[in-house]
């Protein structure tokens, strides 16, 4: 048997983690021969509720689960962590302005970034799910100068999966026939779901769908999918978000399939004219645990405008939390 890997998960009493932890413990992330230790972080007020989740984990008698650490101290949660799923975040409270939300989360992610810097494994792979995910990831990354910036990421995989599913159903093909969709930019309603380079079966997606449908319905449906689920379910996406988080990390470790890519928020290197350093969602291929931005894609005027809008939003988020960078 291999040595257990240390997986830190924050917001461990929340609804996304309720769907995530059992899959991590079951081996869905790293396979059936990789034992894991879960290192769970919560705020003090949610420790009891987190303990209930731990009791359920125990009751599953998962063969791969070699230990569970529970704490409200990030330095304990992230100690020697190989992987960190940063799911916990402060939701928008009543009367809270967007700037207040950014600031309160920036505080959380600056503390967590520092703790990762000090105690995590030097190659730790960090995924930020908690919103505003891109900017939270930026804060964490900037507060962890010891770590390679490329070890920090945020999640647009749920938006990517939503795009794959919607395109497949519109074209009446299985999801396995869809490749190369892209989510550019921010995980917010300015994100740009792009199918200009996507493939449906053996065809270019643009030859299979009506431009009008794409520019209006497709883009808006993906951008607004989270709100649509809240409206109908009364709660935000949880199982699909947990699934996307698991897939994001699994692809990061296992690599992308030949001829395909995934969308991932990573530090911009200036590709496609985006300001270097911004945490921006790009199409990436992954090999040996290293992501590389797909280069050389044609960007038409429509796409250029969409990229500019989401980049502008990310810059304004960054400027709102500049004191903590
Ligand atoms: P919940 O409110 O159910 O759970 C969040 C948990 O985080 C709570 O138990 C809370 O006590 C904990 N928490 C708050 N501050 C913490 C801190 N400083 N340290 C540790 N734990 C802390 O939210 P849930 O539905 O699970 O969503 C979690 C986050 O994911 C939210 O920010 C949400 O907006 C975001 N999402 C991001 C998505 C993405 O694609 N990037 C999609 C799904 C989701 O909306």
Task: Report the separation in Å between the CA atom of 74 and the middle of ligand 1, taken as the mean of its atom positions.
Answer: 15
Task: Report the separation in Å between the CA atom of 102 and the middle of ligand 1, taken as the mean of its atom positions.
Answer: 14
Instruction: Yes or no: say if 264 and 291 are a contact pair by the CB < 8 Å rule.
Output: yes
Q: Is the CB of 47 under 6 A from ligand 1?
A: no
- More confident site: 95 or 69: 69
pLDDT band at 92; cut points 50, 70, 90:
confident
| Nearest protein CA to atom 29 of ligand 1, as residue | 130
pLDDT in tens, 165-208: 999 999 999 999 999 999 999 999 999 999 999 999 999 999 99
Q: What is the mean pLDDT of residues 104-116?
A: 97
Using the 8-state DSSP alphabet, how is residue 66 labeled?
A: E
Of 74, 76, 87, the one to substitute when testing ligand 1's pocket (max ligand atoms within 8 A of C-beta) is: 87
Q: Is the CB of 108 under 6 A from ligand 1?
A: yes
Strand 262-267 with 279-287, pairing? antiparallel
Using the 8-state DSSP alphabet, how is residue 120 labeled?
A: S
At residue 278, the pLDDT reads 98
At residue 96, the pLDDT reads 78
Q: Is the CB of 133 under 6 A from ligand 1?
A: yes
Spell out the SS3 assignment of 97-119: CHHHHHHHHHHHHHHHHHHHHHH
pTM over cut 0.95: yes
Task: Report the separation in Å between the CA atom of 89 and the middle of ligand 1, taken as the mean of its atom positions.
Answer: 4
Task: Report the separation in Å between the CA atom of 278 and the middle of ligand 1, taken as the mean of its atom positions.
Answer: 22
Residue 128: enclosing H or E segment and its boundaries? strand 125-128
| Nearest protein CA to atom 3 of ligand 1, as residue | 14
Give all domains of the chain, ordered by start, each with its CATH number.
5-154 (3.40.50.720), 157-320 (3.90.110.10)
Q: What is the mean pLDDT of residues 92-113?
A: 88
As a whole number of angstroms, the distance between CA 222 and CA 140 comes to 27
Catalytic residues: 187
As a whole number of angstroms, the distance between CA 81 and CA 308 comes to 36
**Per the annotation, does 126 bind a ligand?**
no
**Per the annotation, does 130 bind a ligand?**
yes
As a whole number of angstroms, the distance between CA 109 and CA 105 comes to 6
Using the 8-state DSSP alphabet, how is residue 323 labeled?
A: G
pLDDT(99) > 90: no
Contacts 24+ apart (CB under 8 A), 237-241: 237/158, 238/15, 238/16, 238/18, 238/19, 239/19, 240/158, 240/161, 241/16, 241/19, 241/129, 241/155, 241/158
């Amino acid at each position: 048997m291999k040595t257990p890997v240390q997986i830190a998960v924050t917001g461990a009493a929340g609804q996304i983690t309720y769907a995530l932890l059992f899959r991590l413990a079951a081996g869905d992330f790293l396979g059936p021969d990789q034992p894991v230790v879960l290192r769970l972080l919560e705020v003090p007020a949610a420790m009891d509720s987190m303990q209930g989740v731990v009791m359920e984990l125990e009751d599953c008698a998962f063969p791969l689960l070699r230990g569970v650490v529970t704490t409200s101290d990030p330095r304990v949660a992230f100690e020697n962590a190989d992987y960190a799923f940063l799911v916990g975040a402060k939701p928008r409270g009543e009367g809270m302005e967007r700037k207040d939300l950014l600031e309160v989360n920036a505080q959380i992610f600056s503390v967590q970034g520092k703790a990762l810097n000090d105690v995590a494994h030097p190659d730790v792979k960090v995924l930020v799910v908690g919103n505003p995910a891109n900017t939270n990831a930026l804060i964490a990354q900037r507060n962890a100068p010891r770590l390679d910036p490329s070890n920090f990421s945020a999640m647009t995989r749920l938006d990517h999966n939503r795009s794959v599913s919607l395109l497949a159903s519109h074209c009446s093909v299985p999801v396995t026939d869809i490749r190369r969709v892209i989510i550019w930019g921010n995980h917010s309603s300015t994100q740009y779901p792009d199918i200009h380079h996507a493939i449906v079966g053996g065809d270019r997606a643009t030859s299979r769908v009506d431009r009008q449908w794409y520019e209006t319905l497709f883009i808006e449906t993906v951008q607004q999918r989270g709100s649509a689920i809240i409206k109908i379910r009364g709660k935000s996406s949880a199982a699909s978000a947990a699934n996307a988080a698991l897939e994001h990390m699994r692809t990061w470790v296992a690599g992308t399939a030949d001829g395909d890519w995934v969308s991932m928020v990573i530090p911009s290197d200036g590709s496609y004219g985006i300001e270097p350093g911004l945490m921006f969602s790009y199409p990436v291929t992954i090999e040996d645990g290293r992501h590389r931005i797909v280069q050389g894609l044609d960007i038409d005027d429509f796409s250029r405008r969409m990229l500019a809008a989401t980049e502008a939003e990310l810059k304004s988020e960054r400027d709102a939390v500049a004191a903590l960078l």
